[in-house]
Structure formats: C-alpha cells, structure tokens
Amino acid sequence: MNISIKRFLSSEGVANFASSLMAIIIGLLVGLLILLVSNPRQALNGFGAILFGGFTDMKNLGQVFYFATPIILTGLSVGFANKAGQFNIGASGQFIVGAFAAVYVGVKWTFLPGALHWGVALIMAMLAGALWGLIPGILKAFYNVNVVISCIMMNYIGMYLVNVLVTNTVFDSLKNQSQRVASTAVIPKMGLDNIFRAGNSPSSVNAGIFIAIIAGIIIYIIVEKTQFGFELKACGLNPDASKYAGINSHRTIIISMMIAGALSGLGGALLYLAGSGKSIEVLDVLAPEGFNGIPVALLGQGNPIGIIFAGIFVAYLTVGGFNMQLFNFVPQVTEIIIAVIIYFSAFALLFKDFIRSHYAKDEDKLTKTRPVSQGSLGGDK
Amino acid sequence: MDYIIEMCNITKKFPGVIANDDVTLRLKKGEIHALLGENGAGKSTLMSILFGMYQPDQGVIKKNGEVVKINDPNDANRLGIGMVHQHFKLVQNFTVLENIILGVETTKHGMLKMDEARARVLELSERYGLRVDPDALIEDITVSMQQRVEILKMLYRSNEILIFDEPTAVLTPQEIEELMKIMKGLVSEGKSILFITHKLNEIKAVADRCTVLRKGKCIGTVDVASVSKEELSEMMVGRKVDLIVEKENKEPGKVIFEVENLTVKDRATGKNVVNNVSLNVRAGEIVCIAGVDGNGQSELVYALTGLITPDDGKIRLNGNDITKASIRQRNIGGIGHIPEDRQRYGLVLDYNLAYNLVLQSYFTPRFQKHGFLKYSEIYKYADELIDKFDIRSGQGARTITRSMSGGNQQKAIIAREIDRDPDLLIAVQPTRGLDVGAIEYIYKKLIAERNKGRGILLVSLELDEVMNVSDRILVIYEGEIVAELDPKTTTVQELGLYMAGSKRGIVA
Amino acid sequence: MDTIYFLVQQMMYFSIPLLVVALGGMFSERSGVTNIALEGIMIIGAFTGILFINMFQGMLPGQPILILAIIIAAATGIIVSLTHAFASINMKADQVISGTAINMFAPAFAIYVARMIRTVQQIPFVNQFRIEKVPVLGDIPLLGGLFFRNAYITTYLGFAILIISWVVLYKTRFGLRLRACGEHPQAADSVGINVYKMRYIGVAISGALAGIGGLIFVIPTSTNFNATVAGYGFLALAVLIFGQWNPFKILLAAFFFGLMKTIASAYSGIPVLSALDIPNEVYKMIPYIATLIVLAFTSKNSQAPKAEGIPYDKGSR
C-alpha cells in the first residue's frame, strides 16, 4: 500500500471515524439479533424500518431534524465539557431547568413583542442552564468535587425543583403539566413545515435545527480557533501543566461548565418552544434528552461538527424506531441499539490502537518516531 | 561455581526498542552484586524479568543451576526472590503489618490471623535491626521507615535473593549509611543481594561484584575491589566522562530576586514545611538549593512560582513585590520555570510540540489577535526554536509531544523557558532521568544563561550536580536554609552533613 | 407512638434497598471500579425478579417465592455487571461511559421484553410477602413495633448483608486484597494478587447486591413493576459517598436518606410536618443537596479508594 494512504488511514480523524462506525455497526447488529429472537418473520422488515424509516417521506425526514435539535445541543454540551476534561452527565438537569425558564417566559412574559419573545426565552433558558452547570463547575474548581457525582445530584435537584416551580407558576392542573406557551414564544418554522410534510400533515421541524447547527459551528470555532479553546484543551489534557503555564484552571473549568450548561438549557428551550404541543410533565423522571447527549458526543468523537451529524444520526434511528411499530415491534429497540453503541464507543481506544497498529507499523520503521515509552521500560525513570 | 541465580543470555524487546540484548548476570550466594547502568540502560527491565513481571523473549533463568520459569511475582516469591521497588509498593492507608502480610496472609476459618503475623514481624525486625511499629499507618511514617517495611516484606516471605531497585535515591546520607549496614547484615545472615544503582560511591562502599549494562547490552562483570570509579563510569557511559563543567569565573551583578522570611504551612498538619526562608539570587550566578528529597524544596518552589500562596514572607523580583502575583503575572514578569516532573507539570503531552512551545506565550500579541490564535505564526516560531535548540522529533513542530524522548521533551521545556528571556530561571532537578548526553547539554545551557547575566535558582538532589554547576550552595533541611556554602571551598562530605541536619552553619 | 412505628417501618422500605445497593457499590469501588451502572442493574434485577414472581405466584407459598426471586435478581445482576467489568477491566474503557450504557440499556430492555411477551410494560404482582408480626420478637416492647411488625424478610436480609460486608471487608484475606486493589493495584500486583480477578469479583458483588436491591425496592413500595427504580441506583451512589465507603456509615446514610424519602411520601399524615406546608419535592431534594454539601466539605480529604475509576494496566508498573 502506498505510504500516503497508510498515513491517511492511521491519522487521528480517520481512526476516530472508523471507531465510531465500528460501534454503530455492532449496535445495529445487536438490534437485528434482538428482532430476530423476538419475531423472526418480521425481523427484516422491522430492521429495514429502523435503517430507512427516516427517509420514507418528507415528514419523517422533518421529524429527524426535530428530534435531532435538542440532542445536538446536549451532545455539544457533553462534548464541550469533555474538552475541558469534565464528564458532564448533568445535561439532563441543565436541559430541564432551561426548558422551564423558556416555558415560564413563554407563558408569562407576553408583554414582549413578536420575535423578541422567543429570543428572550432562549436567552433565559441558556442562563438557567448555565447556572446549573456553574454549580458543579464551582464545586469542582474550588472543592475538587467529582463532576460526575455532583452532576448526578444536580439532575435530581433540577428535576424536583422544576416540578415545584411548574406546579406553582405555569401549571395546567388538568393535564398535570405546564401550560402552553404564547404563540409569539414559539420558534418560527421558516417555511420548513411546508417542505417537510406528508400531504396535509406537517412535521414538527422548525428553525431550531438551524440554531443547533449554528451553535455547533460556534463551539467548533471556540474550541479550535481561539485562545480560550487552547486553554480549555490544555486543562482537559493536563490540568497540572496548565496550571504551571499560568492558565487559570478554576476559571477555565467554571466557564466551560457554564457554556456546557447553557447549551443544554438551550436544547431544553428549543424542544419545549417547538410548537409541537410538548409540555413539561410533572413526573419524577429525568429528561432523557440529556442522557442522549452522551452517545451523540461519543459518536461525534467530541468534534462539534461531528456532533451535529451524530445528533442527526441518533434522531434518525429514533424515528426509525417509531416506524418499526408498524411491524408490531416495540420502539425501545432503538434505545437498546443506542446503549450498545455507547458501550462499544467506550472501547474506542482499543479500536483506535488496533487501526493504528495495523496501518502504522511500516511507517514506523521509516520515520523512526516510535516513543521509548517510560511504561514499557519498566519505570526506569 | 556456586551461583544461586543465573540469568543467561536474556533478550527482551519492546515495540521499537531492545531493552535487554543478550544479557547475562550471575549472582553468587551471599554476595552483594551491583547492577550498574544509566537511565534507560535496561536495569529495571532485567530485574522485572527476574521478578516475573515480564517474560524474556530469549534466554533462561537458573536457580542453583536448574532452569526455572518465572511467570509472575508469585513464582518469584516461591523461588525466594523478593524486591524492594524504586517506587514503594505500599498501600498508604494500610498498617505496616497489613502491608507485610498482603499476598501471603494466613487465615483460620477464613479470618485473618493477625496476632501470629504480628509476632513474626516483631521477631524479624528484632533480628535484623529493622525497628518499625507494626500498627502504624504507612502514610504516617517516614520514607526510610517505609523502606524498612519493604525489606521486612521480603524477610517475612523468607526470601533468599533480595533485589534493591535504586534504594538510596530517597534517603539522606546518614540513612544511606544505615541501609548499607542493613544490607551487609542481611548478607552475613546468608541472603544474596542484587543492588540496582547508578551511583558509583555506593557500589564501592558495599558491592562485591558489579555487572554493567549500557543501552540494553551487557558490558561486563567486574570485581568491585579491582576497578576504580573512573573505570566503572567509563564502562557505564561508553566513553570517558568528565562532568566537571567548564565554567569561567564571573562576578555576579545586582540582586534580581529576593525572598524574605518565607513560610509555608502544611495544610493538613499546620507544620511549617518551609520555615522562615530568606535568600537572594544575583544576575549571572547559579544558586543551588541542595537537600535530600522532601525537605521543603517542592513547597518552596511552589511558593516562588505562585502555585501556592505562602503563609508569611515576601518575594521580590527586580525590586517589585510579587508575593501575591498570579502564576501568569510572574511568568510575564520574568520568571522561567523548569519543573521537577516534566511530563506531569512541564508539558501537555497530547499537544503537539508547537503548542507546547507556546504554552507560556500563546496569549501574547504575537500569537493571538482578538482572542483568535495565529497558527501560522505559532508554527513559524516553533520551527525557529526547534532549529535553535536542536529539538529532535519525528514530524517536527507537529509531533505529538508524548512520542518524543525524555531528553528532547526536556529540551523543549528549556527552549520555551529560556527563549522568553527570563531574568530568573528556576530549574528543579533538570537532569533527572536523563542520559549523560542530555545532562551535558542542560549544564551547558544553564551556564550559558548565567554568562548572559540571568539569575538561576537550581534545585538539586544530586551532590555532583550541586558541586559542579553552582556558584553558591544553600542547604535546605526540614524547610530551613541551614547553610550557605561555596562549592570551591567545601567538600561533598561536609555538604552531606549539612543535608542530613547533623551540622548547621551560619547563614549569611 | 404509632406514627413513629409507621415512620420507621416505612423508612425501612426505602433504606434497606439503599443500604444493600450502596454496599454493592462499595465492593466495586473498593476494588477500584466506579460503578454508576447501579441504577441499570437494579432495574434488570427487579425486572427478572418480579417477572419470576408474576409467573410463579400461586404455585408456591409467599416467602419461598420471594427467596427464589431474590436469587434470580442477584444472578441477573451479576450477569449485567460482568459486561461493565469486561469494559472497565479488560478493555480499559471509560467506566462512566460503560455505566451510562447499562443505565440506558436496562429500562429499554425491560420495557421491550415485557411488551413483547405481555404486550403491556407493567408487570403486576400480589404482595403476599409482608409479615404482619414476627412471632415472639414482634411482642418485644418498642423494638417489636419498630422492626418486627409489618416487615419483610428483606429487612433482615439487608442487615445480614451489612454485617457480612463488614466482616468480609475488614477481617478476611479477600477483603484485605480487595481494598489493596482499590488503593494501590501496583502494590497488590507486586505481591502476586491478581488485580483483574479481584476487580471482577468486586464488580460481580456489586451486581448481585444491586440486583437484589432493585427487587426489594419494588416489592414493599408498589404492586407492579414499570421498568423503573426511580433513581434509587443514583441515590445509592450518593449514600455510598455520604457514607464515605464505610459499611456502618453507609447504614447511617441510608437511614437518613430513607427518612427523607419517607417524609416526602407521608408528610401529610404527620401533623407537625403537614402544618409546615413544605412541598414534598423539597424533602425529595434534601438527600441530593445534602450529598452535594458533604462532597464540598470532604472531597479535598476524601476517603474514596485512590485507584477508583483508573483502569489497571499491567504494563505500567
């Protein structure tokens, strides 16, 4: 094989993509297996529904974008915090407090004119989410509290708090959920509903998908092009060395958790202001969109642009899962597939090493870059 | 011949490197056998093979003339082989006793029999003069006590062949002497000892024979009594080594850096780990803080560089009070810092070389505009430094730093810190773990900076380094500066006494 | 007095599962493996246990069927936990990611299977397991009312697990080795302890106890299983931290959290508290807020096993 091709195959980006692809393939195979075990005759039809359901008509495609919107944002949230070395498992709590802030503004602040109304609702949602990210950030920076644990706590505190607040402010007691927001607070459709529809039945897609994509691009620029991104990645890769280099790691961690929280909060707002009739239900259940951000971030390998595509992919599987009900399958198969994908994404390192060792061997001999690693020499330091 | 252990023609390869290449080592019963070599010569790998942690690719191990297979530390233990690792393998929140019995516990009805074990440990420590409190927690006892626990672990297992991996690095000169006595005592009780080191004095002091490794190859085995230190050193390095550094006399200039009555308290115990330290560094001189590891050097450096806030005292750089300044302010203000653990504190190993080279300057107008980084400028600058400081790496500025050799990683840090033109350079154990070539390079750079009129504060544990490189020596003991010495008029022995705290001088 | 009896009896329903699951988490973390999959494993354990009860109820008397269900829940818990062990130990994967995958998999799997075989996702069962009054012991003044009336055998099982856990952890060879693996795996390895094996066992114990915990959470508090354990796995994680990885402190933490849950669900029946008129969500939030506060004060000086969450690589000694 040509050396430049080998170098390409062993490059970081390709290795990342290949390991994501591998996880997806294994996940889908497990899904197929489950379908085969539970109903062999319909299994292939059901599997086809998962694979192609999102493409069957324009409405379904619109639904893909509608479902993708919130999870792209929670995915960005998880991925961004991860750049700073933090595992933001608190996207769920940030998401729901953001959703509440948006719904509250949407229901109560009707004095705001037209476009300003939903705009302000989004900003308030981001602030609420940022606050929910700020607390684990501060606890980590000043008290060295493990972010995973504090985020889990914040998820439940957020959920119960939103339940109290909904019940006391914007409650629709008949349906045990939040009231509908004013029409001015609904995100504009920008004509998308005319494109993505099946006959008379439009999909729920709206300008939110554009906001999600723009958010992804902004995050990409922050991470890759700015001084703050440089500091953020340095803190994530080696907090000690960053501190020695004069980077204010406390500030960096806190700001990155706030931005992560704001992204999740925005995701909550975009879902509940989508005009699809969805309201915050007063239930003791964590918002699943927050947890779905984890596979999205993993599949996107932390790259903001990759996360946009990963979000669309996961939404595509979700829509496919709904379509599968036509064949009497239960849509939870999609969640099982996603869980398996997460599980195998955790092996990404192994896949990457495998790919590298497979393609990088010959190159080593040529360029002689192989490290004399401390570990392999038995710690002769 | 009466060999208790023979390692014959051992070869061990790791990806891209041959750690041991046809190495043969024979240990006589009842001798202290030194294994000498530079960092990376393959000493630890060879011992790890003997201890069952690696399998050799070629070669055999014999005990009392019979071929044995050592698959894991359990096998080694069964053959009577024990090891004191360089980094102690002790569980910090376990007691001494628990650490000793771990892995060879005796039980009754499934419950641990602690009393029996305690009696045995007390008996052993009595017999070998290794007094320890079996019920103390490891985290509460000193390093030399911890080493005794490691030795007791081997004795408790009735090991006959004892491997000591660089055992003196963490000890004071007095503790080293004590250890030598213990080793001789063990040999007289019939044990055989393999002693890994790169310190020639210690070999001369205790070892009977010595096997020398260089770059994975066995250079030879000699009777210690029949060779000189110089000959040993030449065997180890492969050429005549003369680490006596060329350095012309230079009259120091004005005071650049002043520390007054600096005190740092330990957060947990409230004890003063840095105790009322005053010192200054003048332009064009190398001031060395000498001391045994763990006498407050790290905390002193943390306070000077801004990593921790001192509890009391003042720090002035060029006359400006920087006691409360942030790390970044100090860096910009003229302090360069070569930290003690380059991989942990000096570099972001997963960043490429260029990023690491601008780690202290990415925020300056040269490399950023309105918060956006100027990548072309960063890579241009990195290429300049790579050229100027002869940093070798696979793919130039874009090499991931993790894949570079230790010496080149250190060169990168030195390039970054020196090129910022600091008035004061703080270098903490800058040669640790490097081979002779890299050590020479670093000494040359430090002296060149001194000659340019910079002030250099060198923190070192190596007596030779202290004596050869510095213009002035400050000895630190238990957080206090206990002596100020002139390397031209003082001896290593004298320095050792101050470092051990058994002598105090008048501090100017 | 009756109110207090009622409160304590109620509290046991909440505290015992928390205790059992947190003790499970303790074994995993003490061996060096973070296990945030406790929630998912609880769900799977409850699912298989309740499914078994649902299918065999009526064929066997109450207590034996419960014991069999507990064994089944423990076994499935072990199986699920082994996938986490494989990822964490052999694959050196990020343990939070693998745990998250299991937490996502478990409810989806429970709903999927329930609906495929029964068309609805709820699995009902008849509670024939409550012991009105334990003979003799139930008549002891005070204690009888507190612990031996309206109780389940699971309560006593929970206390038994507590005592066994303490003995195993601190008095046996296995416990000493397990703790060494979580604190300093290199040290354990150097004295010939198989770190991988110890960690597998630690995770498997956590799987067994979490599986049991899932089942014994559902039984006293519901009459059907709906693919959820209401975040108790995460709450158990909080109990574990609150209890600083120590069995008896974990017991106290489990009582505290259980009490808060009891108040949240029953405060309207308690005159003093209903007069305060605090929304029950506040009581539900208290355990989580308390955990955050405890974390803030203890994290700099945490008793957490030092090697927790760090994959052990035989190469890097």
pLDDT tens by residue, B295-345? 889 999 999 999 889 999 999 999 999 999 999 999 999 999 999 888 889
| CB-based contact, B44 to chain C, within 8 Å | no
Nearest CA to B183 out of B200, B170, B211, B202 is that of B202
Record: contact B105-C173, CB cut-off 8 A: yes
Record: contact A238-B347, CB cut-off 8 A: yes
Q: What share of chain B is helix, strand, coil (3-state, %, to 5)?
A: 35, 30, 35
* Mean pLDDT across chain A: 87
* Mean pLDDT across chain B: 89
Residue in A with minimal Cα distance to B16: A370
> Which residues 228-257 of chain A have a CB within 8 Å of chain C?
none
User: What is the rounded CA–CA span in Å between residue B21 and residue C315?
Assistant: 20
The answer to whether the Cα torsion of C7, C10, C16, C21 is positive or negative is negative
| CB-based contact, C192 to chain B, within 8 Å | yes
In chain B, the percentage of residues whose pLDDT exceeds 70 is 98
State residue A369's pLDDT score. Answer: 33
Q: Which two tokens stand for residue B165?
A: 């991996």
Record: contact B102-C187, CB cut-off 8 A: yes
pLDDT tens by residue, C94-122? 898 999 999 999 999 999 999 888 888 89
Nearest CA to A237 out of A83, A355, A340 is that of A83
8 A C-beta contact, residue C212 and residue C28: no
Strand B480-485 and strand A171-172: the pairing is unpaired
Torsion of CA C162, C167, C168, C171, to 10 degrees: 160
Q: Which two tokens stand for residue B168?
A: 């003196």
State residue B235's pLDDT score. Answer: 86
Nearest CA to B476 out of B491, B466, B465 is that of B466
Element (DSSP H or E) covering residue C225: strand C224-225
pLDDT tens by residue, C193-251? 999 999 999 999 999 999 999 999 999 888 899 999 988 999 999 899 889 899 999 99
Which of C83, C108, C281 minimises the CB distance to A163? C281
Half-sphere exposure of C216 (CA within 13 A, CB side): 31
Record: contact C179-B103, CB cut-off 8 A: no
Judged by average pLDDT, the poorest of A17-21, A210-214, C29-33 is: A17-21
Q: List chain C residues with CB under 8 Å of A155.
A: 234
State residue A360's pLDDT score. Answer: 47
B220 - beta bridge partners?
A: B212
Question: For the domain A58-327, what is the CATH code?
Answer: 1.10.3470
Fold of C2-301: ABC transporter involved in vitamin B12 uptake, BtuC (1.10.3470)
Q: In a 3-state reduction of DSSP, which class is residue B279?
A: strand
Residue B90 banded pLDDT, cuts 50, 70, 90: very high
Judged by average pLDDT, the poorest of B299-303, B465-469, C274-278 is: C274-278
Q: Which amino acid is at B390?
A: D
Which of A153, A294, A335 minimises the CB distance to C108? A335
State residue A381's pLDDT score. Answer: 26
What is the 3 state secondary structure string of B375-421? HHHHHHHHHHHHHHHCCCCCCHHHCEHHHCCHHHHHHHHHHHHHHCC
What average pLDDT does this structure show over C255-263? Answer: 88
Q: Give yes or no for residue A197 having a pLDDT over 90.
A: no
Residue A374 banded pLDDT, cuts 50, 70, 90: very low
State residue A349's pLDDT score. Answer: 66
Compute the nearest-CA separation of C294 from chain A (Å).
10
Domain spans, chain A = 1-39+329-366, 58-327
Q: In a 3-state reduction of DSSP, which class is residue B72?
A: coil
Record: contact C231-A284, CB cut-off 8 A: yes
pTM of the model: 0.88
